Amino acid sequence: MVMRQKKNEPIIIPMEFKVACSLYKMDVAEVLQVFIDHVKVYDIFNKTYHEGFSEACHCLIFCYRKKKKSRILSTGMRKCRELFLRNMGQIELLANMKRRGWKTTTKRSYTRCFVENIFNAMERLHAPSDIIYLDEYSTLKLSKDFCMLCEVYDCYPKEFLEYFMGYISVADADVGYGLKGYSNFVHTFFLKIANGLGRNPHIRIELTDWEIDFYDRLEELRLEVYIIRDIQRKVETLRDFYRTHYQTMNPN
Amino acid sequence: METTIHLTLSEDFETLCSIYQIKPEYFVQQFINQVSLPEYYSSPSNSNRWGTLFFLQFLEVELSHYDVNRELEEHYLDTFDQAMQYNYDANPASCETSLTIGRNIMRQWLKIVLAERAKYITDSL
């Protein structure tokens, strides 16, 4: 069965993503977990910006759109269509409701029972387990919200995660931010995580002399590439530099 | 070329100059001597790189305020970059060749820029 095959394929972590995580001293699994934890059904309906949640949900929607499906089938919801629509309606209602003293966080927490109703009734075709393996050492915990949205959009967790990772490249971002009209909300989200969003605030980073030299040289290289006018070559120059650093930091 | 410039010395800069008995003219002169694309790109890790790096950083921050012929910039920076790289690949040890070639390209660029500007003036007469 095709579906089963895709389900069991390992998640491919792009080199650029590994490089970026290593540069910001983050664990790949840690970043992906923060991403997963910010995916909430509530924020699919929420029209006001909420740091982290909005980006994560947009990422899902963009990923789904990229597959160019004409409409959402939600195969997993077939047997519970009525219950699904009723509970989704409730969540939408909550998201649009304006009442004094009701904060987004409060409203989001109120959606939990609706998500659970759907979660318990749906067929789990795309995300059958609450845990997925990233590699032999690390696992990711999938929330009910995340699993439910996988079924809603007919996408595998692997697809969402790989889409998210695919937008992260420090070299691209370095060059892109100098260009007019450049925006990459996924990368901005990544930088927010690097700055501590959703992570343990008590991490202390210690740099070796070698790393300090690297960051110094990086500052210079970012300026030095000014004379390279070809955007692609500019990105490549920086990418090579980052990669060499990554490989030195992570031999094997 | 000599030029007279009028500067406002900030308190912190003046304090340092006074303490170390540095003449501001001398200091600025040393700084200016370092600003050179041909020199920097012939040997980016040289200890006199800071002046040029300051200039590049200045460009990054302030470029949008300046009126530059973008097409010419693209063309000459490209030529410059390729020449520097070619020289580096061919003979990493020779800074001298690289310097001369680089400086020549910069001169050509300046010449064209000035010609362009003059053309604009004569055209509007």
Candidates A216, A218, A219, A223: best to mutate against B (most CBs of B within 10 A) is A223
Q: Give tens-digit pLDDT for A95-138.
A: 988 877 788 888 899 999 999 999 999 999 999 999 999 988 89
- The pLDDT of residue B125 is 66
Q: Which residue of A has its CA nearest to B38?
A: A227
- Please check the confidence at residue A2 and state whether its pLDDT lies above 50: no
- The pLDDT of residue B96 is 82
Are residues A164 and A193 in contact, defined by beta-carbon separation less than 8 angstroms? no
Are residues A15 and A243 in contact, defined by beta-carbon separation less than 8 angstroms? yes
Nearest CB partner across the interface for B56, out of A223, A229, A230 = A223
Whole-angstrom distance, CA of residue A225 vs CA of residue A104 = 44
- The pLDDT of residue A201 is 77
pLDDT averaged over chain A?
90
Q: What percent of chain A has pLDDT over 70?
A: 95
Q: Which residue of A has its CA nearest to B41?
A: A224
- Residue A77 has φ and ψ, to the nearest 5°, of -100, 0
Chain B residues whose CB is inside 8 A of the A231 CB are: none
Q: Give tens-digit pLDDT for A9-36.
A: 889 999 999 999 999 999 999 999 999 9
Cβ contact, residue pair A229, B78, below 8 Å? yes
Chain B residues whose CB is inside 8 A of the A224 CB are: 40-41, 44, 53, 56
- The pLDDT of residue A102 is 81
Position B32, amino acid:
I
User: Which token pair is A233?
Assistant: 């070559």
- The pLDDT of residue A22 is 93
| Per-state percent for chain B, helix, strand, coil, to nearest 5 | 75, 0, 25
Cβ contact, residue pair B78, A223, below 8 Å? no
Q: What is the ipTM of this complex?
A: 0.82
Q: In terms of DSSP bridges, do strands A139-141 and A131-133 run parallel, antiparallel, or are they unpaired?
A: antiparallel
Q: Which residues of A touch B (CB under 8 A)?
A: 178, 220, 223-224, 226-230
- Please check the confidence at residue A240 and state whether its pLDDT lies above 90: yes
- The pLDDT of residue B85 is 80
